[in-house]
Structure 1
Amino acid sequence: MPSPPLSICWIRRDLRLEDQAALAAALQSGNPVLLLFIFDAQILEKLPAQDARLSFLHQTLSQIKTQLQSYGSDIWVEKGKPLEVWKKIVAQFKVEKVFVSRDYEPYALERDSQIKDFLQTQGIDFQDFKDQVIFEKSEITKADGSPYSVFTPYSKVWKAALHNPAPDFHFQEKNTEKYFSNFLKIENLPFPSLAELGFIPTALSFPTAEISHQTVQKYDQTRDFPHLPQGTSRLGLHLRFGTISIRRLAKVAFETNEKFLNELIWREFYMMILYHHPHTQYRAFKKEYDHIAWEKDEANFQAWCEGKTGYLLVDAGMRELNQTGYMHNRVRMVVASFLTKHLLLPWQWGERYFAEKLLDFELASNLGGWQWAAGCGCDAAPYFRVFNPLEQQKKFDPNLVYVRKFVPEWNTAAYPKPIVEHKFARERAIERYKAGLAR
């Protein structure tokens, strides 16, 4: 193993070599840089054997490995508990500095704190950088420094902050390519196969990381119609794993379409909410909503999961999710409202199902979206707002293009009758919510 002092850039949710903040700092640290990725055993053990996101991760890391090899370097890939992996690395390399991009989820914060403490006992400098957001944690706050809990004022301050000192300052890319010669010269590092990691390759296809300016430009006109193939960007997966730079995407949005920019701001809003209110990982932001007396009907939940509720837009959405790992955002709202209001099932059930199935699963946004639909989150839809799935289908898929694609038997005897009647479900939900909130 090499003996010179090293800097290590540990990548997690920033899986690219271009415009990457931690890597840019590492490459200018004065030491050769070794890139590291850890398949966290504590996360892997909770995943099914054919988790498509693991295939995407593995494919992405393979591409990074090939890219590094063209510069005479390589990536160190390990599977294990992060602390144990770091003990192994420190024993094999003379590490002086470690560079990471910050992550704001509860588990990540705990993990990074543990690794930082360990590295400090070894005399190793641990530096973290903002990379997956434009504004993080407490950069956008009220005048008294407290976090926002309502989106509109948060977004106004977020947009105003772009001009301090100027948008180009916040969108400025981190120059890494200029310093690629500073990667550690090393070859043939081990690269575990998916099978060695304990996983099976997926048959699902992944969307491209290319930013379509045309899609962004028309986003406000097309975003609500699930049958349009280019109606949304499909970049959620790439934002989740950092295979695309938020700075590049936000710059395009800022210059092109405010509605699209708002979606990126919602993402950061929910990250901020989870960071300041970690209880929302398991319980409602509005704690009084924890008193709702939910139904616990497993059969209805299974019908929802399989897309067999008898409501066309709901069923098309759930089947799209099961078949592709994706669901259109408008439809996500409809199916979430249906689960929590029509079926009166706990929002946590739906949140967990989405977490298992969505390629673009991102904890803060998933929690925020589900609690919004259930009426129990920050700045959520009021509890008495109950989407009518029939009207939603007529409005956003009037010609049944989306429905026909995923529910081919929609007009045959094979298609199930509605498992609950809309008027009854709406009235029951409002009464149940009223009773819970009165406690």
Structure 2
Amino acid sequence: MTTPLPQSRHLATAVPGPRSQELMARKSGAVASGVGTTMPVFAVRASGGIVEDVDGNRFIDLGSGIAVTTVGNSAPRVVEAVTAQAAAFTHTCFMVTPYEGYVDVAEALNRLTPGDHPKRTALFNSGAEAVENAVKIARSFTKRPAVVAFDHGYHGRTNLTMALTAKNMPYKQGFGPFAPEIYRAPLSYPFRDGGLDGPAAARRALDMIEKQIGASNLAALVIEPIQGEGGFVEPAPGFLPALASWCRDNGVVFVADEVQTGFARTGDLFACAHEGVVPDLIVTAKGIAGGLPLSAVTGRAEIMDAPHSGGLGGTYGGNPLACAAALAAIATIEEDGLVGRARDIERLMKARLSKLQSDDARLGDVRGRGAMIAVELVEPGTTAPDAGLARRVAAAAHQAGVIVLTCGTDGNVLRFLPPLTISDELLEDALDVLADAFAAA
């Protein structure tokens, strides 16, 4: 296991191989059945753009653990930083005896996130936990109860974030009742909006909010600048700026959920930057720490400081190992030019996928930014979702050695989230496999 992992796709066995089958049988007997898996293979190591399983199969990674290993799996700076921190101490709880790493990460996020206003940061463990704390902070600051989220949005699996999430299966079914005072507004969805531009789509959403909720009751508006689980939907230009402007005018906290879009993923350090949107609060996780569990809420000092002392925190929030990893991941993004690399990946992938689209009417829309690209699949000549095709293509890619994920409210979107350290050669090979999968389907 100390030898370098070859950066090439390789199938040593059928997928899944015998060792993975044994482990899957053990999983069935030991792990709760509600914890599903996309692929029936068990990883043993990963680096660059490759994940190797226990049977020696090497898969091209177009998932990055759902946008987590943005800087590459076991990135050298991250491994070195975590190893050194583990030798020093693994935990004290920042709320008991604080440590410098937490402060370092907070300072870095205050510097990197959009806007030059005074900021504060609080660290947590997961994206859902951070979203929930952003709502707590907004309610504490505004003294208002209501929160608006958007169609197709996904924000997590806790009770409050399930309420914010739009899709029922598999996230909400049978788990209610959910937190109250959560409302949903229509999103700008260019592929399905019949030509409605961004400002008009914003007016549609704001009219609903004003009539059904009332600005004076609204604490926060929570939105993903580009949706994740909802289908990698990028709102039309002007939609996000119009929402942010309305929030400023009405004393509503504008919360950008950049859990999936943050840290160079979209070809900007944060997706909000594409249209110059400066959120009041920004929520980050996933790519923040190179694979270790960490999340954050960063925002305007006066909003972040509204909760009373002791009102924010958690035993593991800002764990020292995760803080060390985050600082190393940020250094990797900045020093290795990964924002630019994400844009290179976008150009390569969109060129190939657009060519596929021109030859195959089932590819209804190719969209996304940076290394966050998607294809929405439809019945030819229509916009009717074809989830079955998405499942078949993904399954064929898996069998051929490529990790591909699906998403979308209707389950008809293929999404691609390669690590920014992946080579062009691996991307081209993966796209060849994808083209063969469409042909076979």
The answer to whether TM tops 0.5 is: no
Greater relative contact order (Cα 8 A, min sep 6): structure 1 or 2?
Answer: 2
TM score, norm. by length of structure 2: 0.25
Higher strand share: 2
Q: TM-score, normalised by structure 1?
A: 0.25
User: Which protein has the larger Cα radius of gyration, Structure 1 or Structure 2?
Assistant: 1
Structure number with the higher helix fraction is 1
